[in-house]
Every structure is written in structure tokens, then in C-alpha cells.
Structure 1
Amino acid sequence: MRLFLALCFLLGIPSGAPEIHSLKYFVTGASNVPNFPEYVVVGLVDELQITHYDSNTRRVVPKQDWMNKVTEEDPTYWEDESDVSLRDQQTFKVNIEIMKERFKQTGGVHIFQKMYGCEWDDETGEVNGFHQYGYDGEDFIVLDLKTETWIAPVQQAVPTKHKWDNDKEDLAYWKYYYTQICPDWLKKYVEFGRSSLMRKDLPSVSLLQKTPSSLLTCHATGFYPDRAQMFWKKDEEELHEDVVRGEILPNHDGSFQMSVDLDVSGLQDEDWGRYSCVFHLAGGQEVSKRLDKRDIRTNWKTNDGGLSPGAVAGGVVAALLLLIGCIIGLFIYKKKQPQGFRATNTSETS
């Protein structure tokens, strides 16, 4: 499996079942990458970013307010983590130069990355760890905790594999770290951020279309977290053709939105009811909306010059709301007028 093609992509990887919690760190060392720090570390719990470090600031900082609870038990936590990241930063700079020698490279843009962490099943108590390196978008070396050996997918990693396989003390430490230390920290973080990590908000789903010949958009907004999927299906089977999926985007209130488009230009009227738009939130919750012309929100006009049914319905609602607003406003204005006085004209200005 290819690793680390882009950090922002990795941050969007969907998690598994909700009872499986994860603590992951993505470490990126860059060589000759303009406008990008030489070294970046991003920490995530259940795919939600909790920490950040880069070579420009040289400080590990929390990305969630609840992460500050960690200092209640360890007042020097952030300083200690910053010192560790600074030391690792120097090691990564050396490793990039070693990678260039191994791959016979003299210059250019290169990325050396590490991904490590653990998973914990809060129902069974089972834990699992992972530790792997990638170079220029490809796997370089991976730790197999079950056999306590390193796997080298490429020839250039074989010398490293032999060296690390012979370091039994180091292997014993990694096994202890990923089965004891990492899960313990993960459990703390989950407890600190339980209200955020367990939050599940389903979206409102709408059907949108600019014109009868445009793609039909199924739009979901207001959901949380951002670990979600959205797709069209026909007769209970997921569609892959004539479908365009959009990205998950943030809303101003911290929730998210996304959309998926369907080409309906060739659909017969009798087939519309066979299609449904499905939103699936991590954890199994779903919202399904069947394709119905009456539910489409649009502003295009019909052949006789009138508005489409969706636009008419929206216009009627808007007009009623406007009328009600005017009545309420007039009532408030009347109530505020002083009793026993009448308004007069004046030529004075202030």
C-alpha cells in the first residue's frame, strides 16, 4: 500500500467502527520544498487533530482546547514534547541525507515521512500498534510487531532492516511502547475529549439543480465529524458511473458539508423513484433521500414562463415569512410610539 502521498490527504482518512479508537502521529521531513517547514509533526486522536509542531515555531501546541487538561497531571508536558520533537527534527535531517545516498540522488525535492501510533478497542480491550516510514510517496520500511522484525519493501531499506533487526533491546522497547505506553496515552486523550470525539451530528440533505440539463446535486450540511461518505444508489446498489463526488468542506460553525452529483439527463420519468442519495456517517448512522422532482430546489423557469415547482414552493414560503415579518415589525413599532404625542416635522439637523 502506498503511503504519505500528501499530509492533507492523510488527515482525511476515514476511521473504522466507533468503538475502535486510534492515536496517530504523522511526521514529515522535507528537503528543498519551498514555503513549507523542513519538519512537521501532526498528532490525531480518532482522526481529529490534537497537536502540531513544525521547525519554524519549534513548539508543540494543542489543536483542541481539551488537550490542555494534560497539564493537570504533567505541568511540563508541552515543553517536554517540544524538546523531543526538536531532537527528532535533527535526526530526520540526517535521515533525509541518508535516503538521498541510498537512492543515488544529489538534489531535487524529497519527502521522508513516518507514521506511528496505536489502536484500542474500548469493548474488547485489544490494542494494536504500527510504525512505518515512507520516502517520496512509497513505503520504505515497516515494523511487524507480531514477529518483532522490520519489513523492507525496497532494496534500499535492506541495510536498515538488518541493523534494526539485530537491535533486540530497541525492538523490545517498541513492543512495550505500542502495547502499553501508547494505549495508555490514547485512553487519557479519549477521556479528555470524550464530548468532542463522541459527538455525532447528522446533516440536513437537499436536492439542488441549476437547470434541467445540469447535474443534480445532493448536498449535505451540518454533519460532524468529517468521517463520512456520500453516494447515489439505484435499486439499493451503489452507483459509480455518472456520479461526481465532492470534497468534505468545513462550515463556519465547526460542522461540515459535502455533495455528490448525478447526471439525470438520460433518466426516464418512471425511473426517478429508483434512485436515492445516501449519506453515511462514521459509526453506521445514515440519512437517505429518494429522488423526487418535487423536492428539487432550483430557480429555473418552466416553458410557460412560470417557476419550477421547487422554486414556487420556496417563493411562497419566503413571501409568507416576509409578510409575517412585516406584521410583527408594524406591531412592535406601534407599541413603541409614545402615548399622547404626535410626530412633527422639523428643519433642524444634527
Structure 2
Amino acid sequence: SNCRRRKFKLLIMFYGVRYRMKHSLKYFYTASSQVPNFPEFVVVGMVDEVQIVQFDSNTMKTVSKQDWMNRNIDEHAQQVFKANIEIGKAALNQTGGVHIVQRMYGCEWDDETNEVDGYEQFGYDGEDFIIFDLQTETWVAPKQQAVVTKHKWDSNKAFLTSAKNYYTQICPEWVKKYLNYGWRSLMRTVLPSVSLLQKSSSSAISCHATGFYPDRAEMMWRKDGEETHEGVEIGEILTNNDGTFQMSVNLDLRSVPAEDWRRYDCVFQFSGINENVTTTLDKTAIRTNEGKKIIRNDEYLLFVFVPIVTAALVLAVVALIGFIIYKKKTGDIFSVLPGCKLKQASGQSDDTVTVLS
């Protein structure tokens, strides 16, 4: 309802920066046959690209990936997908072997315009098999073997009506419900820590942002306040272990005089949010390995480990000499040597010993 939408917007405005975005709910179903060390059936649910639930046929348990999530997977779906594998094998004249059926379906909801979109597609052995077109309310068959299924599903008007109702009404409502359940987690924004990095004076300068959330973000280099693409390489967004994200954007300034470097700055910003992190290119702020010459692990070990071992060895030798002098006076030298065994050598008298490690 309009009232609910207004409350939802107020919540976002109160707890974080208000921004427009599309929210999504997606489910991924995978059924397999004769795949070693892999469950026959797996379901993964995601809201705004955040995993919320998982089910697999090995454990037969639905696991909530978020503490605010509690939803049951229809176990009947497992049997349906096993049947789909047999249908796919028959359609492609396959009698056995390793095969996989996948289904991806879900919807998107624009929290500003209230527009919705839905999608559903099936894959077989890693290739598209049949796809639902919500706009035309028909099924598309990328493979010739799926044409029979397309005609069968297109002729089932009740099935098409039900699918349209799910993707335009039911699914978007679930998106809103999940956002309401987990808004503290899903709707939060965390700005990153940004650093300037450079391997050597001949390397590109990397503007590295880490610890940000969500992943709807972009980075750029600007020159004199205008975005520049010359010498710029944008890296992909990667996931950190704590669920936050990181990314980098590199800038090659080998042909730019050092006095012009301050004309550049790096900008991190979330998509749709009027808030960013700007870092001016200051040569003194760049973290670099230049001059350290410690790049390979063996060099590092040699640089760090050898002095430590040498110092410890000196101390050990000094201590050992002292003990030997002491023990020599008492007639018991070898008892202080760790890891050594005393053995009487063949043909030697009882008072002669040979030290063996």
C-alpha cells in the first residue's frame, strides 16, 4: 500500500542515506545426477544479492543464512526437479551419465517508481533450455529440443496467468517483506577505507577501497574535477570474509610530471547515493614497496629470519661455551648436548665415547 511505502521510505531516511535502487529476490535450484561429492538437489535464495537461505538433499535441512530469515523450502520441488532431469535426458536422447538441471527465477522492484520485473529460466547441462518472457507471457526455446515443452507450456493459459501473477504481485510483495525483516542488514550503507598503493615507481597507482557495503558501488579517477579514462583500469568488486566488499581502480601516471599529480583524485561512490569518498593524489600518502626489495617469500625470509637466527645462534653458542666450561670441570661434557646420544664405538675402550645425532 501507499502508506506502507511511505513508512518504508521514512525508515530508510532515518537509518541511512535515502537512495533509489532496485531490490531483487532470486532463487537458484540445481538438480543433478551422478555428480560426485555434490548433492542431488540444492536451493539457494538471495535478496539484493545477499544469500538468505540454503537447502540441500544431503542434509535435508533448510539453513537460514541471516538471523532474521526463517523460511521453509518445499521438499516437493526436489522430486519435481528429479523428474525434470529424466525429461531432459529423454528430450536429448540421453540415457545416463552426469547431468544437471538448473532453474533461476525471481523479480526486481524499483522502490522509487514501484515498477516490477520478473524472470524465469531453465538450464540443462550448463546451457539455456527454456526462458519465460514476462512481457509477451510466452516461453522462449533457445534449443530445438525445448520446442515441445514451449508449446505445451504456452498452451496452458492458467499456468501462464499464475506465472504472471507471481512475478508481478506475489514476488515483489515478498521482496518488500524480506526488506522489512532484514532492513538493518540489507539497507545499511558502510563507507570504505581508501588507500593509495603502488608497487614501485614504474607501476600504476592503485586506489583501493575496502570494507564497504553494499556492493552497488563504483570508483573513478578524476583530473581537475572531471572523470578521466586515460590510463585507467577498473578492477572488479570482490567479497571480504566479513561480508563487506573491496575494489580497486588503477591509474598509470608514468607520462605525467610529478608536479601534476595533485590534479588527480580518486572517487568512491555508491550507486544512487549523493555521498562519496574523495582521495586527492598526494605522493606522500602513497604506500609503496619501493626500496624495500622484499617481494618474494624467500627474500623476505632471508631478510627477516637470518638476523633473528644469527642473534639466537650467538646467544646459544655463548651459553653452550659457558656450560661446556662448567661441565668440563665436572667431567660431564656431552650430557649438555641436546639431541645427542652417547654410544660406545666398536673396538673402543669403555671410557671412549662417540657422539651420534
**Stretch deviating more after TM superposition (230-239 or 140-149):** 230-239
Residue of structure 1 equivalent to 2:281: 291
Task: Find the aligned partners of 1:240 and 1:33 in 2 and give their Cα distance.
Answer: 47
Whether the 8 Å CA contact 1:102–1:156 is kept in 2: the answer is yes
Task: Find the aligned partners of 1:286 and 1:98 in 2 and give their Cα distance.
Answer: 52
**Cα distance, 1:37–1:215 mapped onto 2, change above 3 Å:** farther
Match of 2:115 among 101, 105, 126: 126
Task: Find the aligned partners of 1:195 and 1:113 in 2 and give their Cα distance.
Answer: 32
Alignment of 1:154-233 (within 5 A): 154-232=143-221
Aligned amino acid, residue 213 of structure 2: Y
1:22 is aligned to 2:20: no
Whether the 8 Å CA contact 2:232–2:249 is kept in 1: the answer is no
Segments of 5+ residues of structure 2 without an aligned counterpart are 1-18, 293-357
Q: Deviations over 1:11-51 (max 9, x none)?
A: xxxxxx74422211111223443333222211111221111
Task: Find the aligned partners of 1:177 and 1:267 in 2 and give their Cα distance.
Answer: 56
Alignment of 1:98-113 (within 5 A): 98-105=87-94, 109-113=98-102
Aligned amino acid, residue 297 of structure 1: R
**Cα distance, 1:192–1:104 mapped onto 2, change above 3 Å:** same
1:282 is aligned to 2:275: no
Q: Deviations over 1:89-131 (max 9, x none)?
A: 2221222233233334455544321111222233333332222
Identical amino acids, percent of aligned pairs: 60
Aligned amino acid, residue 135 of structure 1: Y
**Cα distance, 1:240–1:114 mapped onto 2, change above 3 Å:** farther
Residue of structure 1 equivalent to 2:137: 148
Task: Find the aligned partners of 2:52 and 2:87 in 1 and give their Cα distance.
Answer: 31
**Stretch deviating more after TM superposition (204-213 or 292-301):** 292-301
Whether the 8 Å CA contact 1:232–1:243 is kept in 2: the answer is no
Whether the 8 Å CA contact 2:20–2:111 is kept in 1: the answer is no
Task: Find the aligned partners of 1:183 and 1:67 in 2 and give their Cα distance.
Answer: 17
- SS at the partner of 1:218? strand
Task: Find the aligned partners of 1:31 and 1:234 in 2 and give their Cα distance.
Answer: 55
> Post-superposition shift, 1:141?
1.4
> Post-superposition shift, 1:202?
1.1
Aligned amino acid, residue 293 of structure 1: K
Aligned amino acid, residue 82 of structure 2: K
**Cα distance, 1:220–1:152 mapped onto 2, change above 3 Å:** same
- SS at the partner of 2:142? coil
Whether the 8 Å CA contact 2:221–2:232 is kept in 1: the answer is no
**Cα distance, 1:193–1:241 mapped onto 2, change above 3 Å:** same
Taking structure 1 as the reference length, what is the TM-score of the superposition? 0.68
- SS at the partner of 1:129? strand
Residue of structure 2 equivalent to 1:41: 43
- SS at the partner of 2:177? helix
- SS at the partner of 2:61? coil
Whether the 8 Å CA contact 2:20–2:112 is kept in 1: the answer is no
Residue of structure 2 equivalent to 1:65: 67
Whether the 8 Å CA contact 1:222–1:251 is kept in 2: the answer is no
**Cα distance, 1:101–1:240 mapped onto 2, change above 3 Å:** farther
Whether the 8 Å CA contact 2:211–2:240 is kept in 1: the answer is no
Task: Find the aligned partners of 2:132 and 2:236 in 1 and give their Cα distance.
Answer: 35
Task: Find the aligned partners of 1:260 and 1:173 in 2 and give their Cα distance.
Answer: 46
**Cα distance, 1:124–1:246 mapped onto 2, change above 3 Å:** closer
**Cα distance, 1:99–1:276 mapped onto 2, change above 3 Å:** farther
- SS at the partner of 1:202? coil
**Stretch deviating more after TM superposition (134-143 or 236-245):** 236-245
**Cα distance, 1:197–1:244 mapped onto 2, change above 3 Å:** closer
Segments of 5+ residues of structure 1 without an aligned counterpart are 1-16, 69-77, 303-350
Taking structure 2 as the reference length, what is the TM-score of the superposition? 0.67
Over aligned residue pairs, what C-alpha RMSD do you find? 2.8
Whether the 8 Å CA contact 1:131–1:142 is kept in 2: the answer is yes
> Post-superposition shift, 1:187?
1.7
> Post-superposition shift, 1:183?
2.1
Aligned residues: 272
- SS at the partner of 1:66? coil
Match of 1:87 among 61, 64, 76: 76
